[in-house]
Structure 1
Amino acid sequence: MLLWINGPFGGGKTQTAHEIHRRLAGSVICDPEHLGFGLHRMLPPAQRGDFQDLVSWRQGVVEVLDLALTGHDGVVIAPMTVTDPRCFAETVGRLRELGHDVRHFTLLAERGTVLKRLRERGLGHLLPNAAGKNSGSRRESWAVQRLDHCLERLREPEFAEHLWTDRTSVPKTADRIAVLAGLTLRPHTGGPLRTRLRQAGVGMRHIRFD
């Protein structure tokens, strides 16, 4: 089974994916963003647009996830924002055509909620002085520019199942996905502080400067 976790940038996809992975034995995370970042590095900076526009990214995502799903016994988790119907058909749709059990979920929240999460994501708001004035915020700025488009597109029926997360914690969102997908997660352990530290660690590991 593939759990594709969609949603706006800063919507909680990565945190939810890691929460499920932590509590679901045998699961793995296969992040399609890594392929996109690799393709970006092969291009001069001036040519680095949206890597989802590259046929090589869409085909590569299908090939790699198909390989993972075929060769791995456990659940595969892919946290990735996809808002373009054609791109959705050429990735999620194509994997379904290949016979894989793909469960797609879109995490949604009000605009103000997502903006707050973007400001708090990882330690990006603490890093400008250490990494260059614009390094820590470049990706967040791009995410803000795309936010309204993402929220509008992802509300469409084709991107169901929709899960609203404004008043739901990451562990509870993971629980909801598990129930809808027919999976059983280990109980969530640790109090609010431990959960916060764990999520901060996930955020730090996903801060990028290129």
Structure 2
Amino acid sequence: MIIWLNGPVGVGKNIVAYELNRRLSASILYRPDNIGALLKKKLPAELLLDNFQDYPEWRQWNYQLLRKISLQTSQTVIVPMRLSNATYFDEIIGKLQAAQIDVRHYTLTATPEVIKKRLQKRGDLHNQFMLSKISTTDQMDSEIEFPTILDTSTLTVPEIADKIAKDCALRIKPAMKNKYAQGAMNFGDMIRSKWN
């Protein structure tokens, strides 16, 4: 099974992915942006694009790797990545589903105010790229029909993970009872997601 976490910049896809990965047995965290970083690092300047999702190779390689992992292991694969282009969505998620791979797609949403607070918490409130994306977070991408939309505005990270695991009928380990320990873990996950 693949659990794909979609949603706007700053909504919390990565931190929820880390939480799910930590609390689900036999799961792996798969980061499609690592393929984008590889392309940007290896391609000469004249071939570089602003958005790594625009590389056909990025879409093909992620599809192939996710297909291989899904068909050759029994692990739940957790993928935090915004996909808002319908063609790109079909080239990865659509093809995986056509290959009979169980893809559970969740779009996390939150109000712009909540997203600003989350960006501030992780030190990205002054990042102009991220701030430019906040204005559109209250509107869903019209090109894609999102099957499962999860409003995270009033939910904690463990609550979001619990809801997703329950919906997927997966057994999940209990969340930490100590809210300070949970907060420290989430903070560590935020730092890790920025540098992975």
Shared fold per TM-score greater than 0.5: yes
> Does the 8 A contact of 1:106 with 1:154 survive in 2?
no
Match of 2:166 in 1: 179
Match of 1:3 in 2: 3
CA distance in 2, matches of 1:145, 1:45: 25
Shift of 1:120: 1.3
Deviation string, structure 1 residues 102-132 (Cα, Å, up to 9, x no partner):
00000000111111111212x557xxxxxxx
Q: How does 1:16-95 map to 2 (within 5 A)?
A: 16-43=16-43, 47-95=48-96
Return the TM-score normalized by structure 1: 0.85
Q: How does 1:33-182 map to 2 (within 5 A)?
A: 33-43=33-43, 47-121=48-122, 123=123, 140-154=127-141, 158-182=145-169
> Does the 8 A contact of 1:17 with 1:78 survive in 2?
yes
Shift of 1:156: 7.0
- State the secondary structure of the residue aligned to 2:140: helix
Deviation string, structure 1 residues 42-77 (Cα, Å, up to 9, x no partner):
235683400111101111110110111112212111
Count of paired positions: 195
- State the secondary structure of the residue aligned to 1:153: coil
Moved over 6 A (4+): none
State percent identity of aligned pairs: 31
Q: CA RMSD in A?
A: 2.1
Residue type of the partner of 2:21? H
Deviation string, structure 1 residues 110-165 (Cα, Å, up to 9, x no partner):
111111111212x557xxxxxxxxxxx5xx42122223345423477712300001
- State the secondary structure of the residue aligned to 2:79: strand
- State the secondary structure of the residue aligned to 2:78: strand
CA distance in 1, matches of 2:50, 2:6: 20
Return the TM-score normalized by structure 2: 0.91
CA distance in 2, matches of 1:101, 1:174: 18
Give 1 or 2: higher helix fraction. Answer: 1
Bigger Cα displacement from structure 2, 160-169 vs 39-48:
39-48
| Structure 2, unaligned runs of 5 or more | none
| Structure 1, unaligned runs of 5 or more | 126-136
